[in-house]
Chains A and B, each alone.
Chain A
């Protein structure tokens, strides 16, 4: 069980950065096991991604190309991923919406164990030990998986993106396995994409996050500050639920998990579920008018004040500093 298979996340002609984190996991795991790793990419024109992927140090890049794979659906992707995975010891993708949707389905097909959202991997006596957060990050469990193929998703913020390495890997086509009944009973209707010109939340080095307190002024207040830093914008559940911002911005136990160099929690109280998604950030700044808000228990620099005054001032001053 020495080799690792990375399932690349490829959409709209682009390999997603999440894939690079999964590759970093694969390098560590394969080295620990004395094996190699390969990368599988699926799509209707997946060949276009193969060259980019071939520079990531893999033994092989495997391409499953078929019109039926134009848009990702777990039902149509899982049969091919499972067929390829049978020859590997470990299958991995990032714990993005893609990985979380697809990998358990692959595990089901292989009757394999699936461990979600791994933050660390190590080997002992040839067995991989996976560390993963539980109870909203209030405990970590270290587990082993007792099945021929082990399926894991990895937390993107815990594995740095892999850089390209020297030689290009050989590229091979693999057979596409047709979906069963499940594939026939699902139809993709449409994708309402949220326009986002900013860096991806999980990849940004600065995240400016807002909560319920910002109300309809969510973007008006946060945009200038995010612009000044070139930051991503994040949000609490309450801000998302109330429609102040896109749901896709939610940071937390059940949203995105981020660990930037600098995190601003603005008008966010600091519920357990929110902390789960951001408490690994290097420096945390909080702005809240309630000095007893729980967020301050994990804050490096806390500003107790009205955010409607402080945030515009902060944005303007940061902009001035950055402009030199």
Chain B
């Protein structure tokens, strides 16, 4: 199986409350925040790796995992670490973040898909900086491929995957035939969430994503990393244009109460919610 995985790097999501909005509202300033891989994209990579191995011998890849990221030179750090973790090949699409919106990224990935012909494209369900949740679904439409968005479980079958999608009110199971688009949700990295056709059904992964062993980090430097220009893939310009940014309304800490009775008194007499 050949899988294309889209990886974005985002300003450290665990410190997202440290972003600053200048008084003129001209930008979201992330100075001082480290770049981190978008957590959902780490999960997308883990999903692709689990789908191309038997669980036990994780060094043997059955098929190929190609990772792609859009951005300036610094996104190569994200791509190198994906190569160290187990991806076979990487592509960086040279551009600035300002040149992109969901449609532009999807158009460009669609063009890469023409050349790469993967069976699956696996993406995160959302990039946690823009919180846009759209590239995978747009891409699927552009390709006229089925989309299994918000995937929590994935089972490989012959020429298809059986996917448990987390939706409102429960889990919807769909079967999508290759080629197809998957976007992954949080629970896809649970121990029994993803199995390839050759994974023993009793096998359990460790919770979460795997980390690259040290020798692999060295070897990853020899793995191919190609660069392409955004303009060679698409001439589209973003249709979403931000005119200003604002800080969220501040919320103050209130008070601590001594016990349940004091809490009830406040809820009744001060907040008047009981």
A contact residues vs B (CB 8 Å cutoff): 73-75, 78, 96-98, 100-109, 111-117, 129, 131-147, 180-183, 185-194, 196, 206, 237, 240-241, 246-248, 250, 253-254, 261-262, 271-273, 279, 282-285, 291, 296-305, 310, 313-314, 317-318, 321-322
A141 to B273, CA, bound (A): 32
| 4 A-B pairs with least C-beta separation | A113-B239, A108-B141, A104-B137, A300-B254
CB distance from A96 to the nearest CB of B (A): 5
Contacts of B185 in A (CB 8 A): 254
Q: A74-B149, A114-B102, A140-B245 are in contact. List 12 more A-B contacts (CB 8 A).
A: A107-B102, A108-B140, A135-B128, A143-B240, A182-B144, A188-B173, A191-B172, A301-B256, A302-B254, A302-B257, A303-B256, A305-B259
Kindly identify which residue among A185, A241, A285 contacts B180, using a CB–CB cutoff of 8 Å.
A185
Stretch at the interface among B64-72, B78-86, B262-270: B262-270
Would B242 and A141 count as touching, CB distance under 8 A?
yes
Would A192 and B170 count as touching, CB distance under 8 A?
yes
- Give the interface residue-count category, chain B: 35 or more
Contacts of A302 in B (CB 8 A): 253-257
- Which residue of chain B has its CB nearest to the CB of A302? B256
- Which residue of chain B has its CB nearest to the CB of A295? B253
Contacts of A132 in B (CB 8 A): 131
Kindly identify which residue among B140, B175, B241, B259 contacts A144, using a CB–CB cutoff of 8 Å.
B241
Stretch at the interface among B10-18, B55-63, B92-100, B198-206: B10-18
Would B166 and A182 count as touching, CB distance under 8 A?
no
Contacts of A104 in B (CB 8 A): 102, 133-138, 141
Contacts of A254 in B (CB 8 A): 40, 125-126, 128, 185-186
Would A146 and B241 count as touching, CB distance under 8 A?
yes
Q: Answer whether A107 and B134 are a contact pair too, CB < 8 Å, given A142-B244, A304-B256.
A: yes
A185 to B140, CA, bound (A): 12
Q: Answer whether A97 and B271 are a contact pair too, CB < 8 Å, given A182-B145, A190-B173.
A: no
CB distance from A272 to the nearest CB of B (A): 5
CB distance from B170 to the nearest CB of A (A): 4
A114 to B173, CA, bound (A): 26
CB distance from B101 to the nearest CB of A (A): 7
Q: Answer whether A143 and B241 are a contact pair too, CB < 8 Å, given A73-B174, A301-B266.
A: yes
B47 within 8 A of A: no
A305 to B259, CA, bound (A): 8
CB distance from B67 to the nearest CB of A (A): 22
> CB-defined interface of B147-187 with A at 8 Å, one 1/0 digit per residue?
11110100000000010101111111111110010000111
A111 to B162, CA, bound (A): 29
Kindly identify which residue among A141, A272, A282 contacts B14, using a CB–CB cutoff of 8 Å.
A272
Could you jot down 25 A-B contacts, CB within 8 Å? Answer: A75-B147, A98-B167, A101-B150, A104-B134, A104-B136, A106-B141, A107-B103, A108-B138, A113-B240, A114-B138, A132-B131, A134-B131, A135-B16, A135-B19, A136-B13, A185-B176, A188-B172, A191-B172, A194-B170, A240-B187, A248-B170, A283-B267, A285-B267, A291-B256, A310-B260
Chain A contact residues: helix, strand, loop or mixed = mixed
- Which residue of chain A has its CB nearest to the CB of B258? A303
B216 within 8 A of A: no
Would A296 and B256 count as touching, CB distance under 8 A?
yes
Would A105 and B147 count as touching, CB distance under 8 A?
yes
Would B141 and A78 count as touching, CB distance under 8 A?
yes
CB distance from B260 to the nearest CB of A (A): 5
Q: Answer whether A105 and B141 are a contact pair too, CB < 8 Å, given A147-B239, A187-B175.
A: yes
Contacts of B239 in A (CB 8 A): 112-113, 145-147
A137 to B130, CA, bound (A): 10
Would B102 and A97 count as touching, CB distance under 8 A?
no
Would A314 and B170 count as touching, CB distance under 8 A?
no
Q: Could you say which of A104, A111, A262, A299 has the most chain B C-beta atoms within 10 Å of its C-beta? A: A104
- Which residue of chain A has its CB nearest to the CB of B159? A185
Would B131 and A313 count as touching, CB distance under 8 A?
no
Contacts of A78 in B (CB 8 A): 141
Contacts of A187 in B (CB 8 A): 174-176
CB distance from A182 to the nearest CB of B (A): 5
Kindly identify which residue among A117, A271, A299, A318 contacts B131, using a CB–CB cutoff of 8 Å.
A117
A73 to B106, CA, bound (A): 20
- Which residue of chain A has its CB nearest to the CB of B207? A241
Would A140 and B248 count as touching, CB distance under 8 A?
yes
CB distance from A201 to the nearest CB of B (A): 9
Would A321 and B166 count as touching, CB distance under 8 A?
no
Would B166 and A248 count as touching, CB distance under 8 A?
yes
Kindly identify which residue among B170, B180, B261 contacts A193, using a CB–CB cutoff of 8 Å.
B170
Kindly identify which residue among B128, B150, B255 contacts A97, using a CB–CB cutoff of 8 Å.
B150
Kindly identify which residue among A96, A111, A134, A185 contacts B103, using a CB–CB cutoff of 8 Å.
A111
